[in-house]
């Protein structure tokens, strides 16, 4: 591993042939390390609650367990095996990690005897027992240091009675040495005399039904001697248990359900902590952001895959984008900027957003930007500073805005903050119609709603690492809240005052025109202090959004931080091999840029590669293809139409070419040999290109 790693920087550098490569590579590595640490922390926090419940369940399940002698067992009624059904959700790829966490927690806090079984190594009853025994007897045992017993684990007949006697020998004769060791600061909390034996089945649905049935029955029979707890990992629903186990067997289980948090929740956290943060400088562009989300929601629900997509985007960004040398912390970026050579500065000038920026400058500045490297560097420094400020303020303000719009009827900006973020990545949200409409709605909020929203805003502004620039915002919001509290007793007063003024100011006589005028004024005045204040608040929020929530691409040099290469990421993360093959066959020009490969639709030109001709001919056939006719057609295409009626004397060479093309098509899976008719093949694909 180390060896390869030492080469790695070189690959990066060799592949790129620029001197920023090393810088970019270093930034990339550190950034990814940061992100993956964050993700790991999230992962371990996520399941804390459910794991705590599970641990206490397995701890208390055999609270009153006593080893009983042979005779006692018969007097007991049939025992129910305490079982935890852990509903894990359908995102199978993430489960490995989750279960290994669970097992290590169990071993740490509850019992040394934990067996994690996966369906892949439990095909038969014998396998399952052997695997379980191996795991339980093989656990590193602090009580016993006899190497002999460890050795012959595999030779012990794998039955539960063996396990029972082993367990009895472990627990009944507490040697003094054991007590000593336990008091000697043992990490695991095995204060219980009889630690339970926890058997975790990671993917219950994958186990053969009869094996699980036998296993459960065996467990329940030995419950008197062994404090067994089962943990069943279920990806679908609890009904899976009943589908696999008949009622006679499931009656032996005492099932308690534990619902793991859905992976969407995990994803929300990952996005808000890793993607939507100013802490990590790398950002996903709108299209890639949406693509990764779509893959998650419509394909696999796997956060693991989402993170891999993110990793790929990160790697590709640093590998492909020469500007990425500046995608790091402010100080570092400035240092890197100064180290840039003229050639790399040229890259900055080429950036689309920068060109737009230059066009907006006065003529003199334009010239300097384009010709004077020093001037350019100072300008870029300023632009970078703007971007850092922008990002720092962006996310707190976004969460404020989300506090306001999240509860609007019909959720115009989605139910999750990520949807709002996704929208705003593409175009500034405040330019949209939806935004206007939502603010119109916000202007009708009731006092209680508004107050609670403001409270949430202040909370969110205070909890994240908010830049000092936004302190004034917090202060202002607090001021608003205070004002609302102040006017709490005011409204009645104003109403009364209004009433008074009403009665007072209406003169006895006036003409129609003035009357209407005064009435209209009155109506306006009637706005209570609350309405006015609410108006102020909403206007303030609106102003805030317009100030801080511009879409990123409006900023010059946003390319430094944003990766939006949709095609690249889709091609590599979510490949489509069949389409590639069919395009290559039906439209070779796509790959081989030679003008003679252009052909009009439907026509088959002899200049195409052999396999393409054969493929196109096969598209014209039905279910079965006659090899002889196919060959004739191929020869016709190659040789052109000769007028003589006699069957053409086939060139052996053509035949050989045909043979190769056909066997390649067979290799690719487009056709297969069939016995239905002599010298025919069956066609296997329909439609396509």
Q: Interaction with another protein in 359-388: which residues (CB under 8 A)?
A: none
- CA dist 251 and 221 (Å) reads 13
Window 79-138: residues binding another protein (CB under 8 A):
92-93, 120-121
Q: 683, 671 in Cβ contact below 8 A?
A: yes
**Dist. CA 209–CA 417, nearest whole Å:** 43
217-221's contacts with Cβ under 8 Å and 24+ in sequence apart are: 217/249, 217/252, 218/160, 219/81, 219/160, 219/252, 220/78, 220/79, 220/80, 220/81, 220/252, 220/253, 221/160
> Per the structure block, which two tokens stand in for 485?
């509290």
Residue from 72, 294, 488, 496 touching another protein (CB under 8 A): that is 294
Q: Give the shortest CB-292-to-another protein separation in angstroms.
A: 12
Q: How far is the CB of 663 from another protein (least distance, A)?
A: 4
Decide if 473 contacts 392 (C-beta within 8 A): no
CB closer to another protein, 372 vs 679: 679
Contact flags string 162-201 toward another protein, x per CB under 8 A: ----------------------------------------
Restricted to residues 560-619, the positions that interact with another protein (CB under 8 A) are 570-588, 591-594, 597, 601-602, 607, 609, 611, 619
Distance, CA of 664 to CA of 670 (rounded, Å): 9
User: Does residue number 12 form part of the binding site for another protein (CB under 8 A)?
Assistant: yes
Whether 580 contacts 411, CB under 8 Å? no
> Considering all CA atoms of the chain, what is the largest pairwise distance in Å, rounded to the nearest integer?
118
Residue 535 sits in the site that holds another protein (CB under 8 A): no
Interstrand relation of 562-563 and 114-117 (parallel, antiparallel or unpaired): unpaired
Binding mask 437-476 for another protein (x = CB under 8 A): xx--x-----------------------------------
Among 108, 141, 149, 300, binds another protein (CB under 8 A): 300
Q: Which is nearer to another protein, 244 or 613 (CB)?
A: 613
| CA distance linking residue 305 with residue 282, whole number of Å | 18
Residues 27-46 that bind another protein (CB under 8 A): 32
* Contacting range for another protein; rule: CB under 8 A; set: 237-245, 252-260, 388-396, 675-683: 675-683
Q: Is 687 in the site for another protein (CB under 8 A)?
A: yes
CA 61-66-71 angle, 5° bins: 125
Pick from 135, 137, 139, 142: nearest CA to 163? 137
Restricting to residues 304-343, which ones interact with another protein according to CB under 8 A? 304-305, 308, 311-312, 315, 319
Taking the least distance from each CB to another protein, the nearer of 43 and 83 is: 43
159: left (phi over 0), alpha (psi -120 to 50) or beta: beta
Residue 346 Cβ, how far from another protein at the closest point, in Å?
A: 22
Yes or no: say if 353 and 550 are a contact pair by the CB < 8 Å rule.
no
State in angstroms the smallest separation of the CB of 351 from another protein: 22
Smallest gap from residue 95 Cβ to another protein (A): 8
C-alpha 334/C-alpha 380 separation (Å) is 9
Q: Under rule CB under 8 A, which residues in 638-657 are in contact with another protein?
A: 647, 649-650, 652-653, 655-657
Residue 634: count other Cβ atoms within 10 Å of its Cβ.
23
CB of 33 to another protein, least distance (A): 11
Q: To the nearest whole angstrom, how small is the minimum distance from the Cβ of residue 568 to another protein?
A: 11
Rounded to the nearest whole angstrom, what is the least distance from the CB of residue 669 to another protein in the complex?
4
Interacting span for another protein (CB under 8 A) from 169-177, 261-269, 303-311, 525-533: 303-311
Which 473-532 positions form the footprint of another protein (CB under 8 A)?
none
CB of 44 to another protein, least distance (A): 20
- What stretches of 282-359 show up as alpha helix (H) in DSSP? 286-295, 303-320, 330-339, 342-350, 352-359
Q: How many residues bind another protein (CB under 8 A)?
A: 117
Question: Closest distance between another protein and the C-beta of residue 527, in Å?
Answer: 23
Phi, psi (rounded to 5 degrees) for 190: -100, 50
Residue 164 or 584 with smaller CB distance to another protein? 584
């Amino acid at each position: 591993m180390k060896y390869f790693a030492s080469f790695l920087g070189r690959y990066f550098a060799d592949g790129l042939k620029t001197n920023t490569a090393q810088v970019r590579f270093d930034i990339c590595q550190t950034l990814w390390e940061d992100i993956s640490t964050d993700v790991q922390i999230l992962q371990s926090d996520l399941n804390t609650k459910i794991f705590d419940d599970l641990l206490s369940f397995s701890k208390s399940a055999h609270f009153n367990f006593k080893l009983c002698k042979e005779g006692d067992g018969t007097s007991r009624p049939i025992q129910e095996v305490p079982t935890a059904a852990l509903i894990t959700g359908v995102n199978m790829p993430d489960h490995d990690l989750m279960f290994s966490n669970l097992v290590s927690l169990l071993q740490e806090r509850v019992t040394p005897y934990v067996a994690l079984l996966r369906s892949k190594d439990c095909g038969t009853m014998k396998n399952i027992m052997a695997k379980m025994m191996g795991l339980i007897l093989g656990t590193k045992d602090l009580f016993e240091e006899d190497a002999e017993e460890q050795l012959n684990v595999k030779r012990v007949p794998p039955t539960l009675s063996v396990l029972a006697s082993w367990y009895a020998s472990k627990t009944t004769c507490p040697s003094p040495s054991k007590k000593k060791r336990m008091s000697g600061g043992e990490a695991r909390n095995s204060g219980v005399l009889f630690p339970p034996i926890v058997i975790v089945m990671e993917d219950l649905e994958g186990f053969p039904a009869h094996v699980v049935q036998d296993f459960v029955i065996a467990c329940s029979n030995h419950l008197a001697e062994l404090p067994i707890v089962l943990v069943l990992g279920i990806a679908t629903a609890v009904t899976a248990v009943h589908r696999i186990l008949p009622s006679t067997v499931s009656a032996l289980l005492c099932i308690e359900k534990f619902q793991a948090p859905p992976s969407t929740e995990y994803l929300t956290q990952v996005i808000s902590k890793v993607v939507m943060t100013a802490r990590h400088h790398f950002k996903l562009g709108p299209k890639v952001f949406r693509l990764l989300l779509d893959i998650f929601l419509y394909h696999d629900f796997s956060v693991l895959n989402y993170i891999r997509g993110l990793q790929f985007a990160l790697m590709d960004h640093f590998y492909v984008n020469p500007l990425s040398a500046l995608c790091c912390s402010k100080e570092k970026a400035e240092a890197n900027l100064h180290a840039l050579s003229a050639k790399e500065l040229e890259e900055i000038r080429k950036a689309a957003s920068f060109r737009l920026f230059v066009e907006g400058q006065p003529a003199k500045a334009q010239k300097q930007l384009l010709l004077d490297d020093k001037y350019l560097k100072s300008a870029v420094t300023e632009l970078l500073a703007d971007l850092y400020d922008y990002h720092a303020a962006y996310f707190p303000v976004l969460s404020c805005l989300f506090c306001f719009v999240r509860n609007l009827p019909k959720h115009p900006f989605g139910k999750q903050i990520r949807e709002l973020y996704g929208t705003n990545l593409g175009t500034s949200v405040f330019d949209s119609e939806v935004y206007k409409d939502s603010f119109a709605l916000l202007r009708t909020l009731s006092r209680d709603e508004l107050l609670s929203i403001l409270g949430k805003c202040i909370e969110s502004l205070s909890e994240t690492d908010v830049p000092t620039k936004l302190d004034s915002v917090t202060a202002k919001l607090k001021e608003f809240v205070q004002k609302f509290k102040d006017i709490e007793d005011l409204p009645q007063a104003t109403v009364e005052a209004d009433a008074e003024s009403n009665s007072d100011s209406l003169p006895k006589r006036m003409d129609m025109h003035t009357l209407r005028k005064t009435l209209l004024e009155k109506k306006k005045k009637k706005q209570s202090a609350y309405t006015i204040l609410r108006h102020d608040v909403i206007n303030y929020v609106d102003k805030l959004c317009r100030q801080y929530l511009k879409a990123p691409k409006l900023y010059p040099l946003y390319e430094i931080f944003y990766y939006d290469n949709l095609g690249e990421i889709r091609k590599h993360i979510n490949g489509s091999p069949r389409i590639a093959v069919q395009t290559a066959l039906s439209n070779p020009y796509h790959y081989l840029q030679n003008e003679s490969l252009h052909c009009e639709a439907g026509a088959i030109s002899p200049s195409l590669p052999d396999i393409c001709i054969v493929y196109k001919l096969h598209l014209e056939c039905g279910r079965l293809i006659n090899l002889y006719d196919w060959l004739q057609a191929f020869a016709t295409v190659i040789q052109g139409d000769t007028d003589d009626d006699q069957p053409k004397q086939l060139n052996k060479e053509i035949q050989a070419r045909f043979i190769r093309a056909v066997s390649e098509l067979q290799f690719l899976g487009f056709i297969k040999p069939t016995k239905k008719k002599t010298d025919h093949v069956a066609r296997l694909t329909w439609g396509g290109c």
